[in-house]
Amino acid sequence: MREGPATVVHRQDYAAPAYWIRKVELCFDLDPVKTIVSSKLHIERNPAAEPQPLKLHGEDITVLRVMAAGESVSFRHEDKLLVIDNPPAGEQFVLEIRNTCSPEKNTQLSGLYTSGGGFFTQCEAEGFRRITYFLDRPDVMAVYTVTLRADKKKYPVLLSNGNLVEQGELDGGRHFAVWHDPFPKPSYLFALVAADLVCREQKIRTRAGKEHLLQVFVRRGDLGKTEHAMASLVASVVWDEARFGLPLDLERFMIVAVEDFNMGAMENKGLNIFNTKFVLASPATATDVDFAGIESVVGHEYFHNWTGNRITCRDWFQLSLKEGLTVFRDQEFSMDMAGSPSARAVKRIEDVRALRASQFPEDAGAMAHPVRPDSYAAIDNFYTATVYEKGSEVVRMMQTLVGREGFERGITLYFERHDGQAVTCDDFAQAIADANPGSELATRLESFKRWYSQAGTPRLKARGVYDAEARRYTLTLTQSALPSPGQPTKQPFVIPVLAALLGRDGRTLAAERLLVLDSAEQQFVFEDVDAEPVPSLLRGFSAPVILDDGLGDAELLTLLAHDSDAFNRWEAGQRLALARLLAAVEQAAPVTLDEAFVEAMRTVLRDPALDPAFKELALTLPSEGYVAEQLATFDPQRIHAVREHFREQLASTLHADWAEAFEANLVHEGYAPTPAQAGRRALANLALAMLCLHAVRSGNPVWPGRAYQRVKDASNMTDRIGALAALVHSHSELAEPALERFHAIAGGEPLVVDKWFALQAQASEPVGAGHGRSFARAKALLKHPDFSLKNPNRARSLIFQLCMNNPAAFHRADAAGYVFWAERLLEIDPINPQLAARLARVMDRWTALAEPYRSAAREALARVAAKPDLSDDVREVLGRALEAQQ
Ligand code: PHE
Ligand code: ZN
């Protein structure tokens, strides 16, 4: 932390390092208060670079001595660098450094830290420099040999990357282990763990016939909750080999769960470190969503072994090279695991919903940046929805443009060319295009790559004209893009539009085809069209754009009833709902839902041919955040009031159908986190929420009573928390005793207690009488003995849920929500700047707020930004937010 502006790093300034580090020998004497790190670096001059001093990164560590070529050498400190002005002459030399760090004091959770009495590391992006002095940049790749020494009783398990080559006893109750990783890797993939852990093991054979050991390490007592993580790991290994021909390249692959972790998980070579949230699951403690999250995160980290680790990023501006591609791979994995076409579509809908909920607002707000950013002050601020989720959509569009087989050829070429290297997003796109000469991608590669360089969500307008005589349908596609920070104008994007034509009766008039829009406006002609069609455009959400197809209710109802593309079918229902929500928000008086809409929803709910999972998605109204995104200025209270009112109407008009849906979708078999069972539970829980909502309004005690019973007796967490949520959001009198009951059942299990906090922080804010109750409750929970700011999961469960996912509780006319935000931010920043910077992002969209919220938000931002000791991370986010007002 420092005063004054942080240094901004620019993508254009990239230069290869003046020195390479080829081999690293590290030795750790682990102690929570003072750990001693001895490192031996085999350094090579880069002949392409001018002779210059050797500058090593180092942060919050203390140097004890430095020796070059066996002799002591003079050094100095400059900023956060250790500078050796006169390193030994010659092409190669060995540098030996000894330094200390204090894991116990490391509350940032970057570098070497303690959690639950053990040692863990997190090095991406720039944590390695908090362990020892190094060229801490991803294009410097070295082979590591690591010796760990620690007290044997307290830390019986000693792990690092690669293979265990030696272990044994030392004096004084200590022991040691030596690990060697044969693969050259950047420092951000280094990891060590020393803790009292137990592990689940499984052997697996790859196609080549080699046997590999898989291990999942957890705290004593948690072993029973590792089955799903292990099954997901096995499935990931099998999938990557089957789909992309990428086998496991290590003798041993380890996953370690840790309770204090800033992110979801980390792909350290051979030693993935995970937030417990993405490892531990039993039916009693984890929901269906948690089980699915574990599968996808285990897959994600495992897939990084090739896309990220074997081929890594040249610099951090290329982050999406590994993240966009790996998110794409984990999404494909989850879809393949889901199996049925309907379950695949459900996964796609969920992914798009998440993209719209987090990436679209990001792209429209103060922190908007291209998939490959141009500058940063703190790289940790760029682990964003844009780099990850939009990056994945960019990869998906490439697959759409070259076809699935073409894409697999592209991946093969990418590895042929770049295995073992640190490369750029351009290198990736080039490989996919080169493997598919003449393809829709190869012929437009340069313009396609604008997806990497231009921020903002493009708008796509589609208008069709039908000529009955010529039996011809002409579709005009137009694109435009709003300015984003630093990018006042944009060039056209290459937009793949999967399209089909339907008749009003639902039959297919033109089969699906790929239209590629690559200029501002283009026409596409469909011949031999029998009747005036309804266009089904952007099927499967074939590009991350905002579509305006001008379709009215009648056409959307046709798509909702008949589209063979499940994504567009869902989308049509959402559009019908959205149009009504937006119209109602405009009006001051309450709006009654029209019969046509209610009937369409009833038809979906009753349709025996539709999967419960799809029904649940179709019957869930667009979120308040999504509604807000459609408006130039929005009033969060108004949106909340309108949406709640609609929910109440759906609850009462479809009452009998909800009751039937609830009974019909109860799962009586033993719990399994399969898409089929999960879909039924999701629909039953939505039905129960609607039934409770209606019952509380009409004073009927039956459904709340049933929900309460379920909180007590449910055989799995999905049903238990679903019932609890139904009571809490409907403001039933039984919510209070149910919450108490739930807390007691949780028995202190951290991940379950997190849910208990999160649910209360998200509790729907009453409209009218009782307004402010949910905010007050969340605020009071800060004082709960189970609450702590130091554990990121816990801080997120209360504070982030309130500030990010409960707009009506947070955005208050009296600005108390913003005061709460500012206070928490200032408390968290000195403890954990990365976490604080994420909280700072809550204000990303403040300029779109209606008054009085807008002015109050600006005041809160300015007040926090005026504090002198802010971290670089927080300062960057607040700075950008305040710039957005011009
Ligand atoms: N690279 C990790 C992933 O995407 C995320 C991460 C980034 C974790 C930075 C920790 C720190 O899987
Ligand atoms: Zn990742």
* Cβ 639 under 6 angstroms from ligand 1: no
Whole-number Å distance between alpha carbons of 794 and 780: 15
Would you say the CB of residue 549 lies under 6 angstroms from ligand 1?
A: no
Q: Whose CA is nearest to atom 6 of ligand 1?
A: 266
The pLDDT of residue 2 is 45
- The whole-number pLDDT of residue 4 equals 52
Q: Which residues contact 877 (CB under 8 A, 6 or more apart)?
A: 367, 381, 837, 840, 841
**Which ligand lies nearest the alpha carbon of 126?**
1
- Torsion sign, CA atoms 82, 84, 85, 91: negative
* Distance (Å) from CA 704 to ligand 2 centroid: 42
CB-CB contact of 378 with 6 (8 Å) = yes
Nearest bound ligand to CA 272?
Answer: 1
Is the Cβ atom of 266 under 6 angstroms away from ligand 1?
yes
Rg (CA), the chain: 28
- The residue nearest atom 2 of ligand 1, judged by CA position, is 266
Report the catalytic residues. 301
Q: H helices of 608-734, where?
A: 612-619, 624-629, 636-653, 655-664, 675-698, 702-713, 717-729
Pocket flag, ligand 1, residue 301 (CB < 6 Å): yes
Closest CA to 187 of 395, 87, 41, 355: 41
Low-confidence ranges of the chain (pLDDT < 50): 1-3
Q: Is 528 left (phi over 0), alpha (psi -120 to 50) or beta?
A: left
Q: Which pair of structure tokens corresponds to residue 632?
A: 């130039």
Q: Which contiguous run of DSSP H or E holds residue 436?
A: none
Length of the chain equals: 886
Query: What are 640's two structure tokens?
Result: 């909340």
If you measure from the C-alpha of residue 266 to the centroid of ligand 1, how many angstroms do you get, rounded to a whole number?
Answer: 5
Q: Cβ distance 371 to 323 under 8 Å?
A: no
What is d(CA 587, CA 660) in angstroms, rounded to the nearest whole number? 34
Q: In this structure, which residue's CA is closest to atom 8 in ligand 1?
A: 266
Using H for helix, E for strand and C for coil, what is the string for 720-756? HHHHHHHHHHCCCCCHHHHHHHHHHHHCCCHHHHHHH
Distance CA(454)–CA(451), nearest Å, equals 6
Pairwise CA distance, residues 110 & 120, whole Å = 9
User: Tell me, what amino acid is at 184?
Assistant: P
| CB of residue 329 inside a 6 A radius of ligand 1 | no
> In terms of Cα–Cα distance, which of 188, 187, 139 is closest to 421?
139
Atom index in ligand 1 nearest the CA of residue 110 equals 11
Q: What is the pLDDT of residue 588?
A: 81
Q: Counting atoms of ligand 1 from 1, which one is nearest the CA of 304? A: 12
Nearest CA to ligand 1 atom 12: 266
- CB atoms under 10 Å from CB of 19, counted, come to 22
Q: How far is the CA of 131 from the centre of ligand 2 (A)?
A: 22
Q: Indicate the DSSP class of residue 86.
A: S
The answer, yes or no, to whether any atom of ligand 1 lies below 6 A from the CB of 122, is yes
Structure tokens at 196: 């009292």
Q: How many angstroms is it from 263 CA to the middle of ligand 1?
A: 6
**Which ligand lies nearest to the CA atom of residue 264 in the structure?**
1
The answer to whether residues 591 and 645 touch, using CB atoms and an 8 Å cutoff, is yes
Q: Which ligand is nearest to the CA of 379?
A: 1
Which ligand 1 atom minimizes the distance to the CA of 127?
Answer: 11
pLDDT of residue 848: 98
Backbone angles phi, psi at 515, to 5 degrees: -100, 135
Centre of ligand 1 to C-alpha 745, Å, is 33
Instruction: For residues 772 and 840, give the distance between their C-alpha atoms in angstroms, rounded to a whole number.
Output: 23
pLDDT of the residue at 886? 54
Q: Which atom of ligand 1 is nearest to the CA of 308?
A: 1
What pLDDT is stored for residue 807 in this prediction?
98
Rounded to the nearest whole angstrom, what is the distance from the C-alpha of residue 124 to the centroid of ligand 1?
7
Quickly count: other Cβ atoms within 10 Å of residue 702's Cβ: 11
Please identify, by atom number, the ligand 1 atom nearest to the C-alpha of residue 262. Answer: 10
Full strand arrangement of the beta sheet holding 111-115 = 111-115, 118-122, 192-195, 157-160
